[in-house]
Amino acid sequence: MHDYQTILQALKEILKPFVPLGQKVNEDTDLVADLGLDSLKVMKILESVEDRFDISIPLNVLPDVRTVKDFAIQIQKLTGDE
């Protein structure tokens, strides 16, 4: 079972290689504005998340994901642990 905090911690670990030096990641971190993610980086992150949680993330949920918190909530929904 993946509770919200567990998902959040895993997500922070997955995002770590994409975070600019000296920047902290929290729930309110904007994935594009704060981390400057481009489409290639987003796809790599999605692949890592799918592997980590053994889920498939439909691309139609991506417009609803702006922050780390939004992403964690979507993962929680997809794992059926809400």
Mind listing the pLDDT tens digit for each residue in 23-70? 999 999 999 999 999 989 999 999 999 999 999 999 899 899 999 999
Q: Which residue has the tokens 């998902």?
A: 7
pLDDT tens digit sequence for 1-25: 689 999 999 999 999 999 988 899 9
Q: What is the pLDDT of residue 81?
A: 62
Range of the domain at 71: 4-79
Provide the number of structural domains found in the chain. 1
pLDDT at 1: 61
**CA distance between the termini of the chain:** 10
SS3 50: helix
Positive or negative torsion for Cα 71, 77, 78, 80: positive
User: For residue 70, what is the domain's CATH number?
Assistant: 1.10.1200.10
d(CA 27, CA 8): 8
The confidence score (pLDDT) of residue 2 equals 81
